[in-house]
Chains A and B, each alone.
Chain A
Amino acid sequence: MTGNPVPPAEGWGESMQQVIDILRQAFDARGGNLATQTRDDFDHLFSAAGRLEPMLASGGRAIDRHELMNVLAAVRGYAEMLREDIGTQHSDFSDMLSALLTAVQGAQGSNSEPSFSPNRVIQSEPGFILAVDDGQENRELVARNLSRLGHFVITAASGEEALKALEHSDVDVVLLDLIMPGMDGREVLHRIKEHPEWRATPVIVISGSQDMDGIIECIEAGADDYLFKPFNPVLLQARIKAGIERKRWHDREEQYRQQLERNEKFIRATFGRYLSDEIVTDILERPEGLQLGGDLCRVSILMSDIRSFTSLSEHLAPGEVVSMLNRYLGRMTDIIMAHHGTIDEFVGDAILAVFGAPLHRDDDADRAVSCALAMQAAMDEINALNEADGLPAISTGIAVNTGDVIAGNIGSEKRSKYGFVGHPMNVTSRIEDQCAGGEILISDSTLKSLQGEAELGRSQSINVKGIDETILIHELKGMSP
């Protein structure tokens, strides 16, 4: 920080003399409407400003700097006082006073920050600025300065008000005075940086005292930038601009992240009910995405059915049927997912699941068969729960077949789902028809696809309806890898 006072900005004299002249003309014409005290203050302002004229007339050659600073301080004091008194009642006068204050600030230079040409204006994308300051005149000064550049400015007179404002509006940049009665700026800063939605909002802290240690503390606490009072309007604009750009950048990033999240959610919602989590994650992580055409693939198909469920359900209340079915299907779904199977559909009490699509693995048949064994093993537990609820015991038959099917998004534009078609699907259904309760039947093609060692019971040939073909099927008792 430099300690040397910086000389007044170039050309300040002319612009200040202009503002004073305009103000004097306006006062002569319309000053009669003002309160006596206010008129009195104007007289003092003009008499102080009158001391400036000889200095300005000398063209800056014979300026006693100490005297100049004293006169400027007096002009500034009266102008600030007048603007407080006038408030919004006479906006023409308060606008002129603000212009005068800007000119004075330009002439005073700044003790801590380089001065700029007062005519320079920083162009920026418009933003939503929250100015927090307990001093009314400071708030108004900032609001006027920034709204002239197209920013939308809301103000808060205390820390509490600032937090309320943040709750109700989507603020781009917070301009925060540190010293305020009640909740001070540091506390507001902490609250903003701890808040999950506000933490990305840039905060520019404003310090009235030249307290660098305090500023450093604030920057460590998450403040993005700082200004010392009285601040140069151009510097304020530049910092606001940088803050808005930072916020916009963050917003775009956030939007992109949310878009990705939505896409992922959509894919999970679409496939999640049919595919295990692991497969969905696999699909999401494949950069090319899943080609949803019709793919011919070799899969193992599992089909299960509760024996004589229709007649069983006739003796039960609808609510009992649904709760019994949900318990059964819920448990079975868990088991199929655990074996990385794809559930194609539930039809009443029947389950159709496929192993090997959309992702092929070498152990598709093995997992289908282990899945069937696990499903049968779970039946005792389900029946124990049924019995406790006064519901009848159930038994299921499961068929597993292996063959080539077409997998893809099947249906019309309006309604489609990932599904499977092909002869092996029908064959599986026929095998399933042969199952007794508690039994697992696998086709010879499945048996040949197994890597592990199957423990078999009886084998038999069956005729498949509609096709002139016999199929060899085996009763499965167990399996060792």
Chain B
Amino acid sequence: MSRPTVVLLVEDNELNREMMVRRLGRAGLEVLTAGDGAQALSVMAAEQPAVVLMDMNLPVMDGWTACRRAREDEAIRHIPIIALTAHAMEVDRQNALEAGCDDYATKPVDFPGLLIKIEKLTRK
């Protein structure tokens, strides 16, 4: 059996984080977690996950900043990031893409849709 896809979930709300970990795990993914943007960058560098699911409203370092930093860092710039944004505003989408995210999903997350996005980004 091939190694399961490793996903890094960046989410500060522990209730949601726990739920997402269970749900992603149920879908056959291995899940790492981080609670803020700075942690996310160090886990990305150390564990090299296949994809990152990044909440944008994070303490310490927010998602936008974390994305831009990730794109400037040789060691992790190749890791695809899916932004999880709170609203479906066009500006949010633009901001996420400009910050270097590869895709985005609106909260509340459509889970099957999110799995497809993960699958698309990790297939390459």
- Interface set of A (CB-CB < 8 Å, partner B): 1, 3-5, 41, 44, 48, 51, 66, 69-74, 76-78, 80-81, 85, 108, 111-112, 134-138, 179, 181, 208-210, 212, 228-230
Contact = CB atoms under 8 A, between A and B. Distances in A.
Contact of A230 (B20, B87, B93, B108): B108
Interface in B1-45: 13, 15-16, 18-20, 22-23, 26
B16 A208 contact: no
Contacts of A228: 88
B96 to A, nearest CB: 11
B15 to A, nearest CB: 4
Interface of B is mostly: helix
A138 B110 CA distance: 9
B108 A76 contact: yes
B15 A71 contact: yes
B90 A135 contact: no
B116 interface: yes
A72 B23 contact: no
Nearest to A71: B15
Contact of A135 (B18, B19, B23, B113): B113
A203 B101 CA distance: 32
A135 B112 contact: yes
B65 interface: no
A66 B88 CA distance: 16
Interface string B89-107: 1110100000000001111
Nearest to B11: A70
Interface residues of B, number: 29
Contacts, number: 88
A44 B111 contact: no
B109 interface: yes
A48 B113 contact: no
A41 B19 CA distance: 9
A111 B57 CA distance: 17
Contacts of A135: 110-113
Contacts of B19: 44, 48, 73-74, 77-78, 81
Contacts of B22: 41, 44, 78, 81
B26 A73 contact: no
Interface of A is mostly: helix
Interface of B: 13, 15-16, 18-20, 22-23, 26, 57, 86-91, 93, 104-113, 116, 119
B107 A69 contact: yes
A210 B88 contact: yes
12 contacts: A44-B22, A70-B13, A73-B109, A74-B13, A74-B19, A77-B20, A77-B109, A81-B19, A108-B108, A135-B110, A137-B111, A228-B88
Contacts of A78: 19, 22
Nearest to B92: A3
Contacts of B13: 70, 74
A74 B93 CA distance: 23
A3 B89 contact: yes
B23 to A, nearest CB: 5
Q: Which of B89, B91, B109 has the most CB of A within 10 A?
A: B89
Contact of B111 (A71, A77, A209): A77
Given A74-B16, A77-B19, A210-B88, A137 B106 contact: no
B17 to A, nearest CB: 9
B112 A134 contact: yes
B113 A229 contact: yes
Given A77-B111, A80-B111, A210-B93, A111 B88 contact: yes
